[in-house]
Amino acid sequence: MVKRSLSLGQWLEDRAGASTLARVVLFRNVPLGVGVLYTLGFAAAFVFMVQLLTGVVLALYYAPTPDHAYDSVAYIGERVAFGSIVRGLHHWGSSAMVVLVVAHLVVVFTLAAYKRPREVTWLLGIGLLVITLAFSFTGYLLPWDEKAYWATNVGTNMVGTVPFIGDFLLRVARGGTELGASTLTRFYALHTLILPGALFLILAGHVALVIWHGVSVPPSLWNTEREAAERLREAESARGYQVESARYAVFKRAGRPFWPDVIAEDLAVAVVVFVALLILALALGAPLEAPADPTNTSYIPRPEWYFLFLFQLLRYFPGQLEWIGVALLPGIAFLALVLLPFLDRSTERRLSRRPIASTISVLLATGVGFLTTSALLSTPPAVVEERNTRLTAVQIVGRTHYRQFCVSCHGTSGEGSSDGPPLIDVAAVRDTAFMHSYIEEPQRMARSALMPGFIGQMSHQEVEETAQYVKTLSGASGAARS
| Least distance between ligand HEC and beta carbon 311 (Å) | 18
- Is the CB of 260 or the CB of 381 nearer to ligand HEC? 381
Contacts by residues 372-381 (CB-CB < 8 Å, ≥ 24 positions apart): 372/305, 372/308, 372/309, 372/312, 374/312, 375/308, 375/309, 375/311, 375/312, 376/308, 378/312, 378/431, 379/302, 380/300, 380/429, 380/431
- Is the CB of 133 or the CB of 409 nearer to ligand HEC? 409
| Least distance between ligand HEC and beta carbon 396 (Å) | 15
Exposed/middle/buried for residue 147 (C-beta within 10 Å: 0-12, 13-18, 19+): buried
| Least distance between ligand HEC and beta carbon 443 (Å) | 8
| Least distance between ligand HEC and beta carbon 375 (Å) | 21
Category of 215 on φ-ψ map: left (φ > 0), alpha (ψ -120 to 50) or beta: beta
Return residues touching ligand HEC (CB under 6 A). 297, 405-406, 408-410, 419-421, 423, 426, 430, 435, 438-439, 442, 449-452, 454, 466, 470
Residues whose CB falls within 8 Å of the CB of residue 456, separated by 6 or more in sequence, listed in order: none
Q: How far apart are CA 413 and CA 424, in angstroms?
A: 8
* Beta-ladder partners of 256: 30
- Is the CB of 57 or the CB of 409 nearer to ligand HEC? 409
- Is the CB of 409 or the CB of 433 nearer to ligand HEC? 409
- Is the CB of 191 or the CB of 444 nearer to ligand HEC? 444
| Least distance between ligand HEC and beta carbon 268 (Å) | 52
Q: How far apart are CA 464 and CA 455, in angstroms?
A: 11
Buried b (16+ CB within 10 A) or exposed e, 348-374: bbeeeebeebeeeeeeeeeebeebbee
| Least distance between ligand HEC and beta carbon 323 (Å) | 22
- Is the CB of 119 or the CB of 441 nearer to ligand HEC? 441
- Is the CB of 392 or the CB of 408 nearer to ligand HEC? 408
For 450, the 3-state DSSP assignment is coil
| Least distance between ligand HEC and beta carbon 30 (Å) | 58
